[in-house]
Amino acid sequence: MQTNNIPENVLLKAQEWLDGSYDATTKAEVKRLMEKEDPTDLIDAFYRDLEFGTGGLRGIMGVGSNRMNIYTVGAATQGLSNYLKKAFAHLPEIKVAIGHDCRNNSRLFSETAAAIFSANGIKVFLFDALRPTPELSFAIRQLGLQSGIILTASHNPKEYNGYKAYWDDGSQIVEPHDLNIIAEVEKVKVEDIRFNGNAGLIFPLGAEMDELYLSEVMTISLSPEAIKKQHDLKIVYTPIHGTGVKLIPMALAKMGFTNVIHIPEQDVVSGDFPTVISPNPEEPAALALALRKAKEVDADLVMATDPDADRLGIAVKNDKGEFILVNGNQTVLIFLYYIITKRKELGMLTGKEYVVKTIVTSELVAEIAAKNGVEYYDCYTGFKYIADVIRENEGKKTYIGGGEESFGFLPADFVRDKDAVSSCALMAEIAAWAKENKLTLFEMLQDIYLKYGYSKEKMKYIVRKGMAGAEEIEQLMVNFRKNPPKMLAGSPLEWMKDYDSLINKNLLTGEVRPIAQKNTSNVLQFFTVDGTKVSVRPSGTEPKIKFYIEVKAKLNSRNEFDEVELTTTHKIDLVMNDLAI
């Protein structure tokens, strides 16, 4: 291999792995990468350390400092162990839970982490097989643990794996603990990792936790009578080869649904995701088999969950009898509209209830909340921030729902992360309630737009991989800050929110307002005079920069729906053209 074009830090890091305390198989693979004619794989594997960021780890599996392997997982676990022992030094015993999804190496990584925690004197509750991410959050709260981790890369392609860390309230870790843990992880060298576990400190978690979790899921029901009457509602469900395969059908059965239709080939648990290119319920291709089955059986509802069963995608029949995918914003609207409507009907709105959305999620959530006397909070992208709002309001106000445009929703606070198990159960109930009220879910969505205004959203992302890609994404954010667009789809830009400086500036008058967030984030938002909203942010877990576009319109009748849909779609195209994306 010619080394002229390889950064010096890559060669030094690769040599460290050849010389260091790594196993023979790992060293052989590093040597193979170094001997390849094309240095791309070597550079990508070693040009940086895979960061233990505020969301944990996520990356492509393989050897190298920028890859998911037992050493990067080991360093993260050792660093987390070190911090737990400092943060909870006053406790006689520190306890954690570990879960994992269906991905290749997830069980290996979870057992590796269990060994390391136990070698550090920490008691471990290790799930006996794959489980949904929300159940890990639930178990931490149920057992009174100090922390927990789950090995998952959520909806990423099969090459990826990840490591999410949780705190004692069952939420993903936030400040100050996230930054403190990162500091501890960065200190860890390979020789510091205690791989030799203490089996006496590792205990299995199994069916008993499933039963406790599912019992809580049942408490979210608001229309049991509708389920009784519509129990044979035709529901097509697919776990897309993931962790929802067992618990979600169990939850639906416990709720009272008797006609859940499976996709047998996608009930096969596999980290190779053999029937899809990407196991992401946000992408139409992932639901192709479910939609085919839905047409075959004339289903009422289609539901799909991602590999760790925290995201939910649904499809419903439109007014032409065609199955259409419902986007994440619309899913949040359906959930919150139903919850607020039913609570009002049942006399369960006391004035202390609140809902939460992320800043990139539809502004219609704020409309629905305001017009029903329900308080609403905006927070950064990521469910850990929704959980942070719940934590701050604990014992003072009542959480009744929260969600984000990326297909995540949490119906109740016994879990502190997005929960597709609870969400599937509640969405099935909503479909039953709608049918009992002579409505389809599509008509219910149209009624929401008629009452609160119409909005159309689109998320567009640009992928830029590797070191050069990361630099390009950084430069794009710099350019948008320095030169924001003057107009979007013919409407002047009015407000620019910069969450990096926490300043909201009126570009027409020069007025400046502070943004009420506890910390900064690399996000920009543009608001035009006519209500168009654009959010721009680099992904924290993938090599992407994301653009979230929302445009508004007035819907006067259901008959106008197609026309308004076309008009707003065209407007989004104009916005994208103005942004050059």
Q: Residue 375 has which token pair?
A: 């308080």
Task: Tell me the two tokens of residue 144.
Answer: 């009174």
Structure tokens at 301: 């509802």
User: Among all chains, which residue has been given the structure tokens 């100050």?
Assistant: 176
Asked if 154 is an active-site residue, the reply is yes
- What's the token pair of residue 72? 């990067």
H or E segment and range at residue 445:
helix 441-452
Contact between 350 and 446 (Cβ < 8 Å): no
Per-residue tokens: 77:
């676990």
Contacts 24+ apart (CB under 8 A), 8-14: 9/46, 9/47, 10/39, 10/42, 10/43, 10/46, 10/47, 13/46, 13/64, 13/65, 14/42, 14/45, 14/46, 14/64
Which position among 154, 223, 362, 455 bears the catalytic label?
154
The sign of the torsion formed by the CA atoms of 273, 276, 278, 283 equals negative
Strand segments, DSSP code E, in 17-159 are: 57-60, 95-100, 123-127, 147-151
Cβ neighbors of 384 (< 8 A, separation 6 or more) are 54, 55, 171, 172, 173, 174, 417
Count CB neighbours of 264 within 10 A: 9
Q: List Cα–Cα distances, 245 to 208, 218, 241, 250, in angstroms.
A: 18, 18, 7, 9
Amino acid identity, residue 270?
A: S
Q: Give the span between the Cα atoms of 277 and 447, in whole angstroms.
A: 35
Sign for the pseudo-dihedral over CA of 222, 224, 226, 231: positive
Do 171 and 165 touch, CB atoms closer than 8 A? no
Distance separating alpha carbons of residues 50 and 58, to the nearest angstrom: 8
Please report, for residues 138, 174, 198, 480, the alpha-carbon distance to residue 89 in angstroms, rounded to integers and kept in the order given.
24, 20, 20, 46
Report the DSSP beta bridge partners of residue 90.
Answer: none
Cα three-residue angle 287-288-290, rounded to 5 degrees: 65
Catalytic (active-site) positions: 154
